[in-house]
């Protein structure tokens, strides 16, 4: 059945990077999903928007800075990145603070988009 099946996968990122491993390991799943030719969307909301903040310097905490990977996603044909406006607002961020091109949408638009998915993975 999986042969040729294309499902709409959504990865919902709601956690900040570095404090926990979820953001990094979520990104690893996203990269793998590209190999399966699925219709992949990434959502960043709540503290997940911090994953996309420009200027991350991780040398001092001796962790790998994985934020450049978000910019490489279009090379994997993963181009649907969505950010919730309300989450940006609540964190003093604007689209200009983000290191990659995204589509900013309202909470209601985000909710409607989720309804159109087949598989939603939340990390």
Binding site for another protein (CB under 8 A): 1-2, 5, 7, 9, 12, 14, 21-22, 25, 28-29, 32-33, 35-36, 38, 45-46, 84, 86, 107-108, 110-112, 114-115, 117-123
Nearer to another protein, 37 or 54 (CB): 37
Q: To the nearest whole angstrom, how small is the minimum distance from the Cβ of residue 54 to another protein?
A: 24
Provide the CA 111 distance to its chain's centre, in angstroms: 16
Q: How far is the CB of 27 from another protein (least distance, A)?
A: 11
Integer Cα distance of 83 and 105 in angstroms? 6
Q: Which is nearer to another protein, 52 or 110 (CB)?
A: 110
Choice between 54 and 119, CB closer to another protein: 119
Instruction: Name the helix (H) or strand (E) containing 8.
Output: strand 8-13
Contacts (Cβ under 8 Å, ≥6 apart) of 68: 99
We find the least distance from the C-beta atom of residue 26 to another protein, in angstroms, to be 9
Token pair of 20 as six digits: 């926990």
């Amino acid at each position: 059945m999986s042969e040729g099946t294309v499902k709409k996968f959504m990865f919902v990122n709601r956690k900040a990077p570095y404090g926990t491993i979820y953001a990094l390991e979520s990104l690893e799943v996203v990269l793998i999903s590209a190999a399966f030719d699925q219709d992949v969307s990434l959502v960043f909301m709540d503290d997940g928007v911090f994953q996309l903040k420009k200027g991350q310097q991780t040398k001092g905490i001796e962790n790998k800075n994985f934020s450049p990977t978000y910019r490489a996603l279009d090379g994997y044909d993963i181009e649907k990145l969505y950010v919730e406006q309300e989450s940006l607002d609540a964190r003093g961020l604007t689209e200009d603070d983000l290191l990659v091109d995204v589509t900013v949408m309202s909470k209601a638009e985000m909710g409607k988009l989720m309804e159109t998915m087949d598989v939603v993975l939340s990390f």
